[in-house]
Structure 1
Amino acid sequence: MKQISAPWVSDPATQAVCEALTKGGAQALFVGGCVRNALLGAPVSDIDIATDAYPERVIELAEKAGLKAIPTGLEHGTITIVCDHTPHEVTTFRRDVETDGRRAVVAFADTVEEDAARRDFTMNAIYARPDGTVLDPLSGLPDLQARRVRFIGTAENRIREDYLRSLRYFRFHAWYGDADAGFDADALAAIASNLDGLTTLSRERVGAELIKLLGAPDPAPSVAAMRSAGVLSHLLPGADDRALAPLIAIEQAAGAAPDPVRRLAVIATPEDAATLRLSRAQLQRMTRMREEAQASTSIEELGYRYGDDGGLHETLLRCAFFEHPWSEDLRQALHHGAAARFPISAADLIPDFTGPALGKKLAELEARWIASDFTLTRAELLTS
Structure 2
Amino acid sequence: LARMDDGACAEIVREGLVPTLQQWTSSKDPGVTRGALEALGALALDDNGSKLVCNDDFMRQLQALAKAKDKSVCRAAMATLSQMAAADENQGPMAAAGMMEMCVSLAKTKDLGVARWSLQALSNLALNNDNAQKLVDQDLDAVCKMLFEIATKSDDTNVEKYALFCIARLCTVLKFADKCATGNKFPVLFKAANDNIASRKMPAALAIANAADHKDMRIKLVKHKALQLFCEMARVTSGEKTRADMLEYQRIASLGLSKLCATYQIRDLAAKVGALEVVIDMMTSPLQDVRRSAAVATSELTLHEDNARKMCMAGVIKPLLDMARSGDRFQENDAIQALSNLAISEENQKQLLKEGGQHALKYLELSTNPTVVKLSKKLQTRMRI
Name the TM-score class by shorter chain. 0.3 to 0.5
Give the structure, 1 or 2, with the largest relative contact order (CA under 8 Å, sep 6 or more). 1
The structure with more helix, counted as a fraction of residues: 2
| TM-score using structure 1 length | 0.39
Higher Rg: 1
